[in-house]
Amino acid sequence: MNKADLIENVAKAAELTKVQASTALDTVLTSIEKSLKKGDKITLVGFGTFSVSVRKAREGRNPATGKKIKIPKKKVVRFKAGKALSEKLN
């Protein structure tokens, strides 16, 4: 499923136009992004939790040459599925 499919599903389920559903989805995604940038954790009960963690700097290898390279530390987004979502998938 891509973003257009999701917008179409939301529009049908909520009886909205695609433009309204698109605006709603964009607003939700923007809100999540802003909260993560601030370092906040977003918990959607029954769905899951989004959080930011820092991946430590490490040493890796270039697979083409085998040469050692330094990989800098980096912030990454984590998602942990909630209990209800996990149960629905099994």
**Structure tokens belonging to residue 9:** 């599903």
CA dihedral (74, 77, 81, 82) positive or negative = positive
| List of residues 6+ apart from 18 with CB closer than 8 A | 7, 8, 11
In one-letter notation, the amino acid at residue 40 is D
Give Cα separations from 31 to 38, 63, 78, 84 (angstroms): 11, 38, 16, 23
Chain-centroid distance of CA 74 in Å reads 16
Residue 15 predicted with pLDDT over 90: yes
Give the model's confidence band at 90: pLDDT under 50 very low, under 70 low, under 90 confident, else very high: confident
The fraction of the chain above a pLDDT of 70, given in percent, is: 100
What class has domain 42-90? few secondary structures
Domain coordinates of the chain in residue numbers?
1-40, 42-90
Q: What is the mean pLDDT of residues 64-85?
A: 95
Residue 51 phi, psi (nearest 5): -150, 170
- Is the CB of residue 17 less than 8 Å from the CB of residue 11? yes
Q: What average pLDDT does range 13-33 have in this prediction?
A: 96
